[in-house]
Structure formats: C-alpha cells, structure tokens
Amino acid sequence: MSGHSKWNNIKNRKGKQDAAKGKIFTKMAKLIAVAAREGGGDPEMNSKLREAVAKAKAANMPNDNIDRAIKKGSGELGDAVFEEITYEGYGPGGAAVIVQALTDNKNRTAGDVRHIFDKNGGNLGTNGCVSYLFERAGRILIEKSDDIDEDELMMAALDAGAEDMETSEDGYEIKTAPADFASVLDQIQAAGYDVVSGEIAQIPSTETELSDEDSQKMEKMLEMFEDNDDVQEVFHNWAEA
C-alpha cells in the first residue's frame, strides 16, 4: 500500500472496527484460542500466542477477553476446534492477495473465499502462487502529533528492538522482525505512544497499479473478506492511489 492512502485506509478500517468491536474481538479471541491450543497458554513460552495477544492489545481488546480466550484454547473452558488456512489468489487487475482464515469448516470457508474472488473479478490460486511477493514482518503505525518528537520515537523504537522506522506526512511506521513484534509493541505503548495499528503483516515487495474500475472491484472484494467471520487477515500488493 502506498503512503498517504495507506494511512487513510487504515483509519477508515479502524473506524469500521470501532463501530463493530464485538465482531473484531470475536475474531481476535479465535486467533488467541488457536495459538493457546497449539502451543500452550503461557505467552512467554508460546511466541505465536504472544503475537496474537499483542495484536489484540493493539486493537484495545479487554484483558478479560484475552484471558478467557487463552483459557478456552488451553481447554479450561472447552475445546476450541479451529484450523488455520491460508489462501492465495489474484484480485481484479492481477493484484496479489493473501487471505488468512481460521475455520471449523474448511469446505464452507474455501467456498466463501472462492466466491468472493470470483464475484469481484479475481480468482483463487494455488499455494505459493503469490506468497513469494511478500515478506512477513511486524508493523506498528503511530499517527503524527505535535506531542511526538520524531527523534525520540526513533530512539525508543530502536532501543526496543525495532529494525527501522519510516516517516510519512501522516505518521510513523515502525518495522520489526516477527519474533520481536510483541516486545517492541509493549515497549512502545509503555512509553506512552498511541498505536493506530499493530500486526505481523505480509508486506509486498512490489505493487500493482489498478484502473479505476478494478480499484472499485478491489475495494468491494476487501470489504467482503472483512465481513466474513472466518477471515482473519487479508494482505495485497495493490498500489492504492
């Protein structure tokens, strides 16, 4: 995603999420429960759970909800029977798309994902068809403010273990190795910085520009994925204008 538009889209998405926090928290709880089921309920000993908890905290999910999801995944509140599945495909205009899902019914989810691709001028591909175009990395976004000193934020990020920080007209993007994401996010928030978005993301190495018509189809496709209960994340290389 390109600079200015990326921030606008993240803010718009965050506004939608704030209006439907129940649904967002349900998705987060599912992610946490699966991580706890697979690797145990101690975030210090389970890096996948640590990442899921950090992401939930960045979305302001209450600690009680997080603890309940961990207990459910650990079997204390019943079994959480979900499976992680990643789909790859092409959106309108050939944009590369990765869809990450958690589901208790693979056939249903596969059908839904295929339908969303097809309905918006894209197509579901095979594993590996686009993933080589992406790099997995931690990404923390902080909006610009008169209260933030860029040099101080840069030093705080690097001291916390971040790899780099980029500045745009809208804000600051802190990049981390996946293994360092949770720790860096904790330290940035503990230092008093408000995080707009924090996640382990698939960051594209190249971008695809789309026509106005294909851009509208891409927007609709992303909205449909976001509304699907099984879909956790969608990453793409659309160079949003």
Per-residue pLDDT of 182-226, as tens digits, reads 899 989 999 999 888 888 889 999 999 999 999 999 999 999 998
Helix 150-160 and helix 181-190, axial crossing angle in degrees, nearest 10? 140
Look at residue 3 in the predicted model and tell me its pLDDT: 38
Look at residue 56 in the predicted model and tell me its pLDDT: 87
Question: CA neighbours within 13 Å on the CB side: how many for 120?
Answer: 27
End-to-end CA distance of the chain: 9
Give the burial class of 186: count Cβ atoms within 10 A of its Cβ; 0-12 exposed, 13-18 middle, 19 or more buried: middle
Task: Please indicate whether the domains covering 3-73 and 83-129+206-236 agree at the CATH topology level.
Answer: no
Identify the residue whose tokens are 């209260």. Answer: 147
Low-confidence ranges of the chain (pLDDT < 70): 1-22, 76-80, 241
- Residues 236 and 100: their CA atoms lie apart, in Å, by 12
- Report the run of H or E that residue 226 belongs to, with start and end: helix 212-227
Decide which of 3.30.70.980, 3.20.20.70, 3.10.20.30, 3.30.70.260 is the CATH code for 83-129+206-236: 3.30.70.980
**Taking the domain 3-73, which CATH number applies?**
1.10.10.200
Look at residue 213 in the predicted model and tell me its pLDDT: 95
Tell me the C-alpha to C-alpha distance, in Å, between residue 187 and each of 4, 88, 173, 229. 26, 34, 15, 31
Identify the residue whose tokens are 């606008």. Answer: 8
Look at residue 74 in the predicted model and tell me its pLDDT: 80
Domain range 133-204, CATH architecture: 2-Layer Sandwich (3.30)
Look at residue 128 in the predicted model and tell me its pLDDT: 95
Name the residue ranges covered by the structural domains of the chain: 3-73, 83-129+206-236, 133-204
